[in-house]
Amino acid sequence: MARVVLERLTKVFGGPRGRHIQAVRDLSFAVEDKELLVLAGPSGCGKTTTLRLIAGLEEPSAGTISIDGKVVNDVPARDRDVAMVFQNLALYPHMTARENLTFGLKARKHSKPEISRRIEEAAAMLDLADCLDRKPSELSGGQRQRVALGRAIVLRPKILLLDEPLSNLDAPLRARMRIELSRLHAIVGTTMVYVTHEQTDAMILGQRIAVLKDGELQHIGDPMTLYRRPANLFVAGFFGFPAMNFFRGIIIRKEQAVVFVEEGGRTGEIPTSNIQHPEKLQAPSSKIPETNEMPPFELQITEKMGSRLGSFSGKPLIMGIRPENMFIANAGDNGIVRAKLERIELLGGESHLHFSTGAHSLTVRSAGVERAPVSRDVQLGFNMQSAHFFDVVSGAAVV
């Protein structure tokens, strides 16, 4: 069994002029035995530092790291039975692929027959049998990546840590390597922690995803839970392409219905990067300006959602809706918004249509190819059953 538990893990680095940089803040979560967990988030969010703390390459400032129920804070890296694949691969250029694969096994003083057996198994698993006598300079990017993985796998570690191993590969090769990594995990069954800032890698590879920002855990769960029910504005904006559309506005009661009223005259920029720093957020005014290029729109909220949002009546909120949950509607339909088509991105199997409502810019994802003249007014429909609502100060999801 190889279960990893982080409890209130914190790492502080010394900065210039005596300042301290808190790379990891009070981080707590578990990586289950044989699980492939992805640490995702933007550059500088603490992903690699967390990985290095698990590996024993950094010492925590506070908190504990446990492997198989044993606290390993004071256990040297070499004794943790952890292998790590770095972003730069770090292959020895003067050694052949076989020698690179063999290096760690020789350092651990395995017998020659055992080394040969493990190399043959890894070469067959990673399709490297024809490459073993080549040096890294004679290998393709994908082959070098597989050698780096093989060098870690032959050690048969309890835990395999991967620090953005696909970041230097082109898109087609990256896609193939994702498939190979998934297959490899299924075969080997090793507990894996994979670091990436790419949402596609996270969604495809992760059995669960832990999202970090500024060293803090934002949300942890399976990929579709993070996509469909994000915990806050940051997670909602991080996952999904094109990104979720956000609108500032207020909740009001209108006759027997609960209605979201867009706040006109403000930028569509929602400061998702500041959700952990409420003092930097300015709540939108509850007053709706009377003048704007296009009038503020109103959207009736579904009865089920309205019962949960009724307590927010008169209060500002941020509504989020994904591009695939919007569509060009027919005049006279209910729940439509007037918008101006500004740009179309044709992507073959789908199109991204960019609109402006006056106060906000938004994107609609459409199946197939949409060819339409720009600078024209259209009616947009909203699938309000798929709408999300967030607190304007904390950024936390309220529905």
The tens digit of pLDDT for each residue in 64-76 reads: 999 999 999 999 9
Q: Residue 297: which of 397, 377, 217 has the closest Cα?
A: 377
The tens digit of pLDDT for each residue in 156-188 reads: 999 999 999 888 778 888 888 888 889 889 988
Please tell me the predicted confidence (pLDDT) of residue 174: 86
Per-residue pLDDT band at 291 (split at 50, 70, 90): very low
Contact yes or no for 175/127 (Cβ under 8 A): no
| CA 227/CA 245 separation, integer angstroms | 14
Please state, rounded to an integer, the average pLDDT across all residues of the chain.
Answer: 87
| CA 45/CA 195 separation, integer angstroms | 11
Q: Which part of the chain is CATH 2.40.50.140?
A: 245-391
Please tell me the predicted confidence (pLDDT) of residue 336: 79
Using CA of residue 222, residue 226, residue 232, residue 236, what is the dihedral sign? positive
**For range 378-399, the mean pLDDT:** 92
pTM metric for this prediction: 0.87
Residue 305 has pLDDT above 60, yes or no: yes
Residue 332 has pLDDT above 80, yes or no: no
The tens digit of pLDDT for each residue in 202-227 reads: 999 999 999 999 999 999 999 999 99
Please tell me the predicted confidence (pLDDT) of residue 247: 92
Fold classified for 4-234: Rossmann fold (3.40.50)
Please tell me the predicted confidence (pLDDT) of residue 25: 96
Q: Which part of the chain is CATH 3.40.50.300?
A: 4-234
The tens digit of pLDDT for each residue in 114-159 reads: 999 999 988 988 889 999 999 999 998 888 888 998 999 899 999 9
| CA 56/CA 75 separation, integer angstroms | 7
**For range 79-89, the mean pLDDT:** 89
Superfamily grouping for domain 245-391: Nucleic acid-binding proteins (2.40.50.140)
Q: Residue for token digits 């049998």? A: 129
Please tell me the predicted confidence (pLDDT) of residue 392: 93
Pick from 245-259, 338-352, 382-396 the range whose average pLDDT is largest: 382-396
